[in-house]
Amino acid sequence: MLEKGICRPSRSNWASPLHMIPKGSTDWQPTGDYKALNRVTKQDKYPVPHLQYFSHYLKGKNIFSKIVLVREYHQIPVNPDDIEKTAFITPFGLFEFPHLNFGLCLASQTFQRFINEVLYGFYFCFAYIHDILVFDKDKTGDMQRLEQIFKRFVEYGITINESKCEFSKPQVDFLGHIISSEGILPMSSKVKAIQVFPKPETVS
């Protein structure tokens, strides 16, 4: 993380405990436990959209692409005057994040506002933080839409996680749902978890 510039040594008077977030089945993401900092942070009520908000745009659409951004929060710089507030304690010393990071209460709203600005005017896609769904009637249209989006990404310096993206498919998995020309359906794995859930045997 130091080599990539994600965090750096700090001399801050602020210090949050170290908190490890599981990332997949084998990796961990270090961040700060920012409960105390979040309590004194001015709240941002910018809305993070619901999946159903864009369902009416899917009518007549047959081809879908999913774009996933890499380390999305780390693409947003923190105000230089506030970087010291992100400091966290480790066994190896005090470190801070010069970019937005997990655990900060405004992270989701800040990035959602940013990605909405990036994609402003594009009514052929839906962004939920770092997951972006693109939809069109055919592959030719989809490729044109993707080109428009990627040009905008270049302008804003946004990086994608190519290994997690899907392009020009008849259906894609998106936010735990299957998106296709038939609409929005729950993934079978999610439904199965409910079906096999033990039935209650007592009243209380």
pLDDT interval class at 36 (50, 70, 90) = very high
Phi-psi region of 97 (alpha: psi -120 to 50; beta: other; left: phi over 0): beta
Indicate if the pLDDT at residue 5 is higher than 80. Answer: no
What's the rounded Cα separation, in Å, for the pair 143 and 168?
7
Per-state percent for the chain, helix, strand, coil, to nearest 5: 30, 30, 40
Q: Please say if the pLDDT value at position 25 is more than 80.
A: no
User: pLDDT by residue (tens digit) across 47-80?
Assistant: 998 888 888 888 899 999 999 998 888 888 999 9
Which pTM was predicted? 0.83
Q: Per-residue pLDDT averaged across 132-158, rounded? A: 96
| Residue 3 in this model has a pLDDT that exceeds 80 | no
Treating both helix axes as pointing N-terminal to C-terminal, what angle do 107-118 and 139-156 enclose, rounded to 10 degrees?
Answer: 120
Tokens read off for 196: 């096999």
From the candidate CATH numbers 3.30.70.270, 2.160.10.10, 3.30.9.10, 3.40.1210.10, the one assigned to the domain spanning 2-186: 3.30.70.270
How deeply is 154 buried, as exposed, middle or buried, from its count of CB atoms within 10 A (0-12, 13-18, 19+)?
Answer: exposed
* H or E segment to which residue 31 belongs: strand 27-32
pLDDT > 70 in the chain, percent? 98
Q: Give the C-alpha separation, 145 to 136, whole Å.
A: 8
Res. 193: pLDDT tops 80:
no
Note the pLDDT tens digit of each residue in 155-186: 999 999 999 999 999 999 999 899 999 888 88
